[in-house]
């Protein structure tokens, strides 16, 4: 359209003799433009269910002035102010609320796991005995005694003691002795339970529970070993000797305490500790580290089992007199 309306620029107006011909050419041009503009302009396909277009159509039908009388400096994008302000979705609890899904859900968030165990009077040792673990365990033991000095405390043990599983020393032997001394000072009964591994100083804590209340899971492991000398690094020879003597003292103390709680002699404990001495639940019970193997239903099964003599009598077997 713009190209068709452009006229050649002339330095002077046309003469009167040619003015009529110019008017005729302009008239033809404007008629051609008007005829083209009156033609139907093709429109892109429109979704009749589109919510935005449907809203615009309803507004145009009811109050068209809303579309035409618009402020020129509006900060709102075009036509978006026609829609209602967005409403916040309902809370997840309202959306998910149903008897089958929400019936047994707690009404408030649960506490952290250590606090939940502590509420059940359970102290769980699940790491090697490093200073941070020792601090937490002793604080929990003291807190539980302060809460109730008569109720028992349950000490669950799954620890490699003052070493890692590869034998590297990660803590001093005094870490285990500190927990042991705290256990001996408490008025409460302490029920110890080995739920994974009780190695070294952790085995001492397992055996130091209240007599008759020391338990072990069927597939747990216990092991006693000699204390290890920490890395000496660039220490002078005299300092290495001092540290080695301290390790020997800790070994003798550990042997005496294990002999006291297992009922074995000091010589027997020292003999088996020359090398790492592994024990399954049955062997740990025989050695005196624990009193009972925890196996659900074991008590009833063993109570229902008849003694060997009854089995022989029922089977018709007569025991011969020794020759």
The number of CA neighbours under 13 Å toward the Cβ of 297 is: 1
What distance in Å separates the CA atoms of residue 140 and residue 122, rounded to the nearest whole number? 9
Do the Cβ atoms of 186 and 153 come closer than 8 Å? yes
Q: Are strands 221-224 and 292-293 parallel, antiparallel or unpaired?
A: unpaired
Angstrom distances, CA of residue 215 to CA of 14, 166, 205, 279: 120, 26, 12, 14
Asked if residues 203 and 289 have their Cβ atoms less than 8 Å apart, the reply is yes
Would the pTM count as exceeding 0.85?
A: no
- Assigned token pair, 162: 């003052």
CB atoms within 10 A of CB 318: 8
Ordered by start, the domain boundaries in the chain are 113-304
* Nearest-10 Cα torsion for 287, 288, 289, 295: 90
Q: Which of 179, 196, 192 is nearest to 129 (CA)?
A: 179
Alpha carbons 257 and 173: distance in angstroms, whole number: 13
Which of 193, 217, 229 shows the shortest CA–CA distance to 281? 217
CATH number of 113-304: 3.90.226.10
Cα 51 from chain centre: 44
> For every one of its 323 residues, what pLDDT tens digit does the chain have, with 9 covering 90 and above?
444 444 444 444 444 445 556 456 555 555 554 554 444 555 455 566 666 667 667 776 777 666 666 565 555 455 555 555 444 444 444 444 444 445 555 566 556 777 778 888 999 999 999 999 999 999 999 999 999 999 999 999 999 998 887 778 888 888 999 999 999 999 999 999 999 899 999 999 999 999 999 999 989 999 999 888 766 667 788 888 888 888 899 999 999 999 999 999 999 999 999 999 999 999 999 999 999 998 765 555 555 556 666 766 776 666 555 44
How many other CB atoms are there within 10 angstroms of residue 283's CB atom?
13
Nearest of 151, 138, 149, 139 to residue 191 by alpha carbon = 151
| Burial class of residue 154, CB neighbours in 10 A (0-12, 13-18, 19+) | buried
Residue 279: closest CA among 227, 228, 226, 225: 225
Distance separating the N- and C-terminal Cα atoms of the chain: 133
Say if CB 144 and CB 188 are below 8 A apart.
Answer: yes
Q: Which tokens go with 215?
A: 């338990």
Angle at 133 (CA atoms; ends 131, 139), nearest 5 degrees: 100
Enclosing H/E stretch for 257: helix 237-262
Confidence (pLDDT) at 82 = 55
């Amino acid at each position: 359209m713009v190209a068709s309306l452009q006229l050649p620029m002339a330095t002077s107006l046309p003469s009167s003799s040619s003015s009529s011909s110019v008017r005729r050419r302009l008239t033809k041009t404007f008629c051609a433009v008007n005829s083209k503009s009156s033609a139907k302009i093709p429109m892109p396909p429109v979704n009749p269910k589109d919510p935005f277009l449907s809203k615009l159509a309803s507004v145009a039908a009811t109050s068209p002035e809303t579309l035409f009388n618009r402020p020129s400096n509006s900060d709102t994008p075009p036509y978006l102010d026609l829609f209602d302000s967005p409403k916040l979705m309902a809370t997840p609890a309202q959306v998910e609320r149903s008897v089958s899904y929400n019936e047994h859900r707690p009404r408030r968030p649960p506490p952290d796991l250590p606090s939940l165990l502590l509420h059940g009077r359970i102290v769980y040792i699940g790491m090697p005995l490093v200073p941070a673990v020792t601090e937490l365990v002793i604080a929990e033991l003291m807190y539980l005694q302060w809460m109730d000095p008569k109720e028992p405390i349950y000490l669950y043990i799954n620890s490699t003691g003052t070493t890692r599983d590869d034998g590297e020393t990660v803590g001093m032997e005094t870490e285990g002795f500190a927990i042991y001394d705290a256990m001996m000072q408490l008025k409460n009964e302490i029920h110890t339970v080995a739920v994974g591994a009780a190695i070294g100083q952790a085995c001492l804590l397992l055996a130091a529970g209240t007599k008759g209340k020391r338990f072990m899971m069927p597939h747990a492991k216990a092991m006693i070993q000699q204390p290890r000398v920490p890395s000496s690094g660039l220490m002078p020879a005299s300092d290495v000797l001092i540290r080695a003597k301290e390790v020997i003292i800790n070994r003798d103390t550990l042997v005496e305490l294990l002999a006291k709680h297992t009922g074995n002699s000091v010589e027997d404990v020292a003999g088996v500790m020359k090398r790492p001495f592994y024990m399954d639940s049955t062997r740990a019970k025989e050695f005196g580290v624990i009193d009972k193997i925890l196996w659900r239903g074991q008590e009833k099964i063993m109570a229902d089992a008849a003694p060997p003599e009854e089995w022989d009598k029922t089977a018709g077997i007569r025991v011969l007199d020794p020759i």
